[in-house]
Amino acid sequence: MLNYHAVNDYSVIAYTHRWFAIVRDVTSRFVRPSVTARLADCIVGLLSFALAAGTIHLTSDGRDIAAAWPANAVLLAALLDRGPGTRAGVFIAGFLANLAANVAMRGPSAGLLLYGLCNLVEIGIAARLLRPVLVDDGLLGAPSVVGRFIMICGLVAPGLSGVGGAATAWLLFGQNFWGSFVTWLLSDGLGLLILTPFFSALLRGDYLQCFSDRDWWQRAEVVGLQVLTAAIAYGVFFVAGRPLLFVLFGPLMLVTFRLGRLGTTLSVMIIAAIGIVATLHGQGPIAMIAPDPREQAVLFQVFLAILLLTCLPVAAALTARGARLASLSRNAEALREREVVLARLAATDPLTGVLNRAAFSDAAAAAMENPAHAPLSLIALDLDLFKQVNDRHGHRAGDRALVHLVSVLRADLREHDLIGRVGGDEFLVLLPGTDLDQTGAIAARLRHALRRKPMTLDDGTTMHLSMSCGTALHRTETGFEDFMHAADMALYTAKRARRGVVHPG
């Protein structure tokens, strides 16, 4: 439980993880990966040693089992964060830390080796059973994982290891077997339940990542809610003259709804830190209820576990619902994008990318009804001797000629001018706000631009293309078909003249 002192605000967590990240980054660049892993194991071992030594000192008489045991939570979180082939170092560091803490606090004894082995069995079982259900969002990122986590960490793993621990206490230290077993089960189980989610998120970098992903207003909300939780916890443990532990459920549930799982675990750590300081000084509701330090340790852990396990299922459900809503939003966005693509494909010519006949007809009809587009003119054009291009060079060359023609048109037309392909090599160009004289000049410019930009075939042959154009001006009460027919007649007149000239209609 001593580890609660070190984590009393969000900035400490952020800077602690940042320090770990800097160390890991620097060592990964200049030190062999095996040495980097050993350094991380040493840090985990030192933290485990500090927690184990502190809890033995505060909650044990040197012979019996400690009433609180948070050290295993650090080791379990490290195991869950490691990939295959890098977990042995955690076991070694954990065993040595456990042994060193017991020797320092209790003196050398053969039973300490057995205690250490029982703790390794505990974290090994818990890691083996939890690893298959881990999700990308972390240890408790899904509601289905919460129940399994409670069962494994609160009962199965400490229950199996507790048999060995209680037997050691009975055979070597003369302690009552069943009393030692219950103490082991409570201390280890509550330690794993309370602290494993916190250390797991800390080692994964979830706290810093979550804080970094938020904007300034959201960060202010995070800090504000944690400060509110700390203030209420201070009032409960240092100011209130009666045991008002139930008051803490209000701010913690607010944090759960606003900040989710990570905010909940952090708030519990803040409450734990304030509560431990108060209890060690004989203040607060825990000290009022239970004067014995061992009873205080058990009672406080039970209270923290109830806090955490009341809110974590809610947080997991909210996270899952948020993930489903995000998935639905992504699917809806994908459908909208698909609809846009399908609509564009339905409205465009697949070869040249310009509007097809139907889409061009609809766009022209809408423009004819809009007085802002008057005067409205139309150019009908096609390539001269296009059949010969197909006959001599193949249909692929003919397709490239059409694509080349469209590229020339787009380069010389305005952005709001519309181009449509209405036949094999016949195109229409709609020119809003353009009278017949201006349209004729534009058509002539387009024809000359095509002549100046020859097309190169696959064999390197250069081909000069030409086109004929006919123009028409939209007249009141004239429909699109009549409008297009007037431009077509002008085009046919130009083609019969065999001069590729513009013939106004």
Whether residue 337 lies inside any domain: the answer is no
Q: For the domain that residue 362 is a member of, what is the CATH number?
A: 3.30.70.270
Please report which helix (H) or strand (E) contains residue 311, including its range.
Answer: helix 293-347
Whether residue 346 lies inside any domain: the answer is no
**Quick one: pLDDT band at residue 402, thresholds 50, 70, 90?**
very high
Please report which helix (H) or strand (E) contains residue 470, including its range.
Answer: strand 467-473
Q: Whole-angstrom Cα distance, residue 408 to residue 241?
A: 86
Q: Whole-angstrom Cα distance, residue 106 to residue 57?
A: 9
The mean pLDDT of the chain is: 85
Radius of gyration over every alpha carbon of the chain, rounded to an integer in angstroms: 39
299 and 401 together in one domain: no
Mean pLDDT of 467-472: 92
State how far the alpha carbon of 71 is from the alpha carbons of 42, 152, 347, in Å. Answer: 14, 17, 67
State the CB neighbour count (10 A cutoff) for residue 433.
14
* Three-class DSSP category at 429: strand
Whether residue 429 lies inside any domain: the answer is yes
**Quick one: pLDDT band at residue 456, thresholds 50, 70, 90?**
confident
pLDDT recorded at residue 3: 36
* Tens digits of residue pLDDT in 1-55: 333 333 333 344 444 455 455 545 544 444 444 667 778 888 999 999 999 998 8
21 and 73 together in one domain: yes
pLDDT: which is higher, 429 or 394: 429
Lowest mean pLDDT: which of 174-183, 187-196, 243-252, 318-327? 318-327
**Token reading at 277:** 């300081």
178 and 317 together in one domain: yes
State the CB neighbour count (10 A cutoff) for residue 226.
22
Q: Does residue 450 carry a pLDDT above 50? A: yes
326 and 361 together in one domain: no
Strand partners, 376: 432
What range defines the domain where residue 71 resides? 2-330
Lowest mean pLDDT: which of 242-246, 313-317, 371-375, 452-456? 313-317
290 and 406 together in one domain: no
Within its chain, how far is the Cα of 396 from the centroid?
47
State how far the alpha carbon of 329 is from the alpha carbons of 322, 339, 342, in Å. Answer: 10, 15, 20
Location of structure tokens 């800090």: 223
Q: Whole-angstrom Cα distance, residue 354 to residue 358?
A: 12
290 and 383 together in one domain: no
38 and 154 together in one domain: yes
**Token reading at 176:** 């009552």
State how far the alpha carbon of 261 is from the alpha carbons of 126, 183, 301, 310, 409, in Å. Answer: 21, 29, 19, 12, 59
Residue 430 φ then ψ, to 5°: -95, 125
245 and 362 together in one domain: no
326 and 398 together in one domain: no
467 and 403 together in one domain: yes
386 contacts 424 by C-beta, under 8 angstroms: yes
Cβ neighbours of residue 33 closer than 8 Å, sequence gap 6 or more: none
Location of structure tokens 């039973």: 111
Q: Whole-angstrom Cα distance, residue 7 to residue 21?
A: 18
Q: For residue 375, is the peptide bond before it cis, meaning its omega torsion is within 30 degrees of 0?
A: yes
Q: Does residue 328 carry a pLDDT above 50? A: yes
**Token reading at 226:** 């944690």
Whether residue 126 lies inside any domain: the answer is yes
49 contacts 102 by C-beta, under 8 angstroms: no
* Tens digits of residue pLDDT in 78-135: 998 887 778 888 999 999 998 899 888 888 888 888 989 999 999 999 999 998 877 6
Whether residue 351 lies inside any domain: the answer is no
pLDDT recorded at residue 34: 62
398 contacts 388 by C-beta, under 8 angstroms: no
Whether residue 434 lies inside any domain: the answer is yes
- Which 3-state string (H, E, C) describes 123-160? HHHHHHHHHHHCECCECCCCHHHHHHHHHHHHHHHHHH
State the CB neighbour count (10 A cutoff) for residue 110.
8
pLDDT recorded at residue 326: 80
Number of domains in the chain: 2
Whether residue 427 lies inside any domain: the answer is yes
114 and 244 together in one domain: yes
304 and 382 together in one domain: no
pTM of full prediction above 0.75 = no
314 contacts 258 by C-beta, under 8 angstroms: no
Whether residue 352 lies inside any domain: the answer is no
pLDDT recorded at residue 18: 54
317 contacts 256 by C-beta, under 8 angstroms: no
Q: Whole-angstrom Cα distance, residue 340 to residue 152?
A: 50
Mean pLDDT of 353-376: 91
* Three-class DSSP category at 262: helix
